[in-house]
Amino acid sequence: MKKTSKKKKGLFMNKRSFLYYGELETPVGPISLVSTDQGLCRIDFGNVRDLTSLWNNWKKKSFLCGEFIKNEDKVFEAKCQLEEYFHKQRTAFSLEFDLYGTPFQRKVWKALYDSTPYGEIQTYKSLAESIQAPKAIRAVGGAINKNPISIVIPCHRVIGSNGSLVGYNGGMDKKKYLLHLEEAPITQK
């Protein structure tokens, strides 16, 4: 996961800052992306008009005061890489991120991004163990539930300890599609 600076994220956005957004049509439906000048900060399933309330709540909780502005150029690279992913031409992403979350959430997202390659799966338990928090399985699940960058930070690759496909903010149909696309070794329970 690339970092843009050591400064604490979110504190330096001012009233003239922008949150740039764009949309992409994919095999799993529309995806909307949000970026700052520092990097990609959200990928959500759905159209922008359906996500406005979600984004405004996220902006408020993240103490951001930037204005949303449509700018396809600012999310162009992310859109290109996602298109390549859906066409099986890309198995890893190379993007700058600007993530907003608690230190624990960012730790989980980083571990998920770094330790779960394309076509592989892991459990909530194994992810908790990888961050030296073996008893924090539920907290890890909560952090994954708040993952702001679907697909790129691959929360779809996390399954239950018994091999079951559990929870996915985008819906189980999307999780199954993404795992099938990657030819991940799953059995449907």
Which amino acid would we find at residue 43? I
Tokens of 47: 């159209």
- The whole-angstrom separation of Cα 151 and Cα 157 is 9
Kindly name the residue from 41, 65, 80, 155 that is annotated as catalytic.
155
Ordered alpha helix ranges (H), the chain:
48-61, 76-86, 103-115, 124-130, 137-145, 172-181
Residue 2 carries which DSSP code?
Answer: B
Is 155 labeled as catalytic in the residue annotation?
A: yes
CA max distance for the chain: 50
Q: Is the CB of residue 42 less than 8 Å from the CB of residue 101?
A: no
Q: Collect all residues with Cβ–Cβ distance below 8 Å to 91 and sequence separation of at least 6.
A: 85, 117, 118, 119, 182
By annotation, the residues acting in catalysis are 155
